[in-house]
Structure 1
Amino acid sequence: MRRALAALIAATAATPALAATGPFISLHNTNFVVTIAFILFLGILVYFKVPGTIAKMLDKRAEGIREELNEARALREEAQTVLASFERKQKEVQAQADRIVATAKEEAALAADQAKADLEKSIARRLAAAQDQIASAQSAAIKDVRDRAITIAVAAAKDVMSKQLTAAARAKLVEESIAQVETKLH
């Protein structure tokens, strides 16, 4: 601190005021008065320890800035930690969403396969029912045709027999039929 004061005094002494003509040390020389006032001002500042106070204030301010920087670093690290946590959670949520989508696709595929199998079974049942109905209708039609054929054959036989057979032939035919029935029943 004293070196700085000595350097200041030396710098002040080497001013152009010393190069002026006439007596320098005179109260009528304004340069001399300003120099003396400046040196007194610096002396008062040193006496009241203003440079030390300013240094303390600057140190205090530097310490405050250092604390703010440390706090900012801590906040930055905390923010990075939170960001990393959110990124992990986002990845986990994305992975879970991917699993849900994959599961849904699998279930949809299984449901589609099941629906296809059910549809095939339903079609097979309906086809079988339709075939049964067709077979039933066919057998009913065949029976109906047989019944009509029998009725027509009996009627035709009756007409033919009534026209061609005589009463004796009819009696003989009835006796043969009764005998035939008797042999089949016993």
Structure 2
Amino acid sequence: MANPAAPQVFETESPEVFEAEAHGEHVEHVDPMALGLAPGGWVGLAMLVFLILLVWKGVHKVIGGGLDAKIAAIKANLDEAKQLRSEAEALRAEYSAKIAGAEKDAEAMLEGARHEAEAIVAKAEADTAATIARREQMATDKIAAAERQAIEELKARAADASTKAAANLIAEGHDAAADRALADKAIAAL
């Protein structure tokens, strides 16, 4: 393991500088320079050359074009979003109108159904009254027919009874001689 108290050695410094620092002497360090530029100047110069090279190769145009493309894409997305929003609002308004129309239609249908139900009830009442009147008339006609039939049967029985009674009376009061006289009288009248 390395000793933490031991000084670090850099290749750029001379051994004399290390010995002087080890003895507690203050040694002033000299920054390296090349062609009159310090290391920071060289870094700045390299950066300036790099930026000039980027501008010369048109990297700023590529970056600007990319940003412009991104801006155009974002604008297109915003325009599409606005269009979709307006379409959604139009659909919402259309469906709101349809719902209101459907509610009115439902109310009209309900009112129509009420009127139709009332008409059906009135017709049923009229039909019931007509059916009752017709059945009363049929019952009256049946009663009258039964009365006529009873009267005819009564007349027929009375005729049969009077015929039998007349036959009995004739049979008791008439004999063969009286029958001949009546037959001769009837023939002479012809």
Q: TM-score range by the shorter chain?
A: 0.5 to 0.7
Shift of 1:81: 0.7
Do structure 1's residue 133 and structure 2's residue 118 form an aligned pair? no
Identity %: 31
Do structure 1's residue 124 and structure 2's residue 155 form an aligned pair? no
Do structure 1's residue 79 and structure 2's residue 85 form an aligned pair? no
1:115 is matched with which residue? Answer: 124
Write the mapping of 1:36-115 to structure 2, written as runs, cut at 5 A: 36-48=45-57, 50-51=59-60, 53-115=62-124
Q: Distance in 2 between matches of 1:102 and 1:120?
A: 27
1:3-38 alpha-carbon deviations (Å, 9 max, x no partner) = xxxxxxxxxxxxxxxxxx5433359x9887666533
Instruction: List alignment gaps of at least 5 residues for structure 1.
Output: 1-20, 161-186
- The answer as to whether partners of 1:45 and 1:51 remain within 8 angstroms in 2 is yes
Q: Distance in 1 between matches of 2:62 and 2:123?
A: 89
- The answer as to whether partners of 1:25 and 1:32 remain within 8 angstroms in 2 is no
Higher relative contact order (CA 8 A, sep 6+): 1
Q: Which of 1 and 2 has greater Rg?
A: 2
1:8 is matched with which residue? Answer: none
1:105-143 alpha-carbon deviations (Å, 9 max, x no partner) = 422431342133113202211121112211331354256
1:23 is matched with which residue? Answer: 31
Shift of 1:40: 2.4
Q: Distance in 1 between matches of 2:30 and 2:48?
A: 22
SS of structure 2 residue aligned to 1:127:
helix
Between Structure 1 and Structure 2, which shows a larger proportion of helix residues? 1
Q: Distance in 2 between matches of 1:60 and 1:137?
A: 109
Q: Distance in 2 between matches of 1:68 and 1:50?
A: 27
Shift of 1:84: 1.4
1:133-186 alpha-carbon deviations (Å, 9 max, x no partner) = 1133135425644665687689889999xxxxxxxxxxxxxxxxxxxxxxxxxx
Normalised to the residue count of structure 2, the TM-score between the two structures is 0.52
Normalised to the residue count of structure 1, the TM-score between the two structures is 0.52
Q: Distance in 2 between matches of 1:24 and 1:98?
A: 97
Q: Distance in 1 between matches of 2:131 and 2:152?
A: 31
Q: Distance in 2 between matches of 1:120 and 1:95?
A: 37
